[in-house]
Structure formats: structure tokens, C-alpha cells
Amino acid sequence: AQSVAQPEDQVNVAEGNPLTVKCTYSVSGNPYLFWYVQYPNRGLQFLLKYITGDNLVKGSYGFEAEFNKSQTSFHLKKPSALVSDSALYFCAVRAISGNTPLVFGKGTRLSVIA
Amino acid sequence: DAGVIQSPRHEVTEMGQEVTLRCKPISGHNSLFWYRQTMMRGLELLIYFNNNVPIDDSGMPEDRFSAKMPNASFSTLKIQPSEPRDSAVYFCASTSGGRSTGELFFGEGSRLTVL
């Protein structure tokens, strides 16, 4: 079975500081990993994904994520947070083999304070 | 490019009434998903279709919920009769399926309020 854990319901960070939103996963075999962002009253928007290759993935709006196979983690990072980054962030996973749908974490609310 | 289109964006109805939510997936996508989002439960997968065929409806909460996909460009989620606990935002998402990575494209959601 596939699962995703986002251990923090809320992350607060000061504008200009680096941010990290944590994600760990469980899947049989190799994973596809995703991050989505949801702004208020909007649908989920794709940020970035890991398929294969370089463990550091760069995505939209200056975000990046690092795939760590030994720790089964895929933490989302940004070197310098903006107030406009405040939103709900979802990590998702699916196994490469098979045709199962994405499994989402429960989401982490990021609040960037000016 | 048109994304996933959902209607209505907002629906307010009274308990016992029938509610129908609609979704038009991205053209060429052959997998469609219905999700429900609430503060208490987060994002829940209700049902998904591959090539218009329902594959897994284990997330559908009760018999009051039903979903159809009569063709590749249209799906409905129906609640009959509706109850206050059905109040939530319902999202439709699509993907190209097959050998794709499974990246989902979401609509803007339908916010349902049942009084």
C-alpha cells in the first residue's frame, strides 16, 4: 500500500528565511513523487515532481525538493520565502509499476510572515 | 489550453435535495478522479475512472453518492438526497494515464453547502 506522511500541520517562517515542508512516503518499489500547492479557493496546482535521475528537483516559483531514498523522504524547500508562498502544500506518491492513482498527504499549511 | 472545468463553482442547497456536480476533463486525458476536501478529513479520493470505466469507488461514502462518465469529455457526481455533512469542496482531476507519471490536473472545485 502507498502512503504519505506530512508530519507538520502548520509551518511558520519569516519572509526571506529558508523554508522546508516535510514529506515521507511508503511505496512498494520505486516512486513517482509530487508536490502540489493550493491557494485559497483554488484547486491544487502542480509544483514539481521526481521521476528519476537527479535527486534534487527544481520546480515552479523557486521551489525545489530533494529525493532521499534511504530516508524515504521528499522534502520541499525554498531558499528565501515570500509572503505570497503562504498556502496549503500537498505531497503525493505513486508507485512506478502498476497504474495506481496518486496518494496524497493531509497537507501542510505554510504561513510566511512579513 | 483549457484546464479541467467544473460546474457549478458554488452550490447552496437544502437538506434532502439532489445535487449534481459536473466535470469536463482535459481533452486527451483518459483518467478522471473525483475528490472531496474538508477541514476535518483533508483530501479524499471518492472514485476514479479509466477510459470512462469506474475503477475504484471504494471512497464513495454512501449509496447517496453516485458518479458517471458517459463519455471521455464529461463526468457527473450526484448526491441524492444531500445532507449537511456533505458540505465540502469537490474537486475533479484528470491525467493522461497509461505510461504517464500520473501527474494530476485539478479543476477549481465546486463548493457545496447543504443547509
How do residues B60-95 score in pLDDT, each as one tens digit?
988 999 999 999 999 999 999 999 999 999 999 999
Check residue B102 and give its pLDDT. 75
Q: What are the distances in angstroms from CA B64 to CA A58, A78, B83, B114?
A: 43, 44, 9, 14
Q: What are the distances in angstroms from CA A18 to CA A72, A104, B4?
A: 22, 24, 33
Residues from chain B contacting residue A45 (CB–CB below 8 Å): 106
Cβ distance B101 to A48 under 8 Å?
A: no
- ∠ CA B76-B94-A31 to the nearest 5 degrees? 135
Q: Do A49 and B101 touch (CB under 8 A)?
A: yes
Q: Which of B4, B43, B102 sits opposite A90 (nearest CB)?
A: B43
Q: Do A101 and B91 touch (CB under 8 A)?
A: no
Tell me the H-state helices in B51-90. none
Check residue B86 and give its pLDDT. 97
A69 C-beta neighbours (distance < 10 Å), count:
10
Check residue A53 and give its pLDDT. 86
Q: Do A42 and B109 touch (CB under 8 A)?
A: yes
Reported residue count of chain A is 114
Q: Which distant-in-sequence residues (6+ apart) come within 8 Å of A43 by Cβ?
A: B4, B91, B93, B106, B107, B108, B109
Judged against a pLDDT cut of 80, whether residue B99 lies above it is answered with: no
Check residue A99 and give its pLDDT. 72
Check residue A52 and give its pLDDT. 85
Pick the more confident residue, B5 or A99.
B5
Cβ distance A113 to A106 under 8 Å?
A: no
Cβ distance A85 to A78 under 8 Å?
A: yes
Cβ distance B54 to B69 under 8 Å?
A: yes
How do residues A45-99 score in pLDDT, each as one tens digit?
999 999 988 899 999 999 999 999 999 999 999 999 999 999 999 999 988 877 7
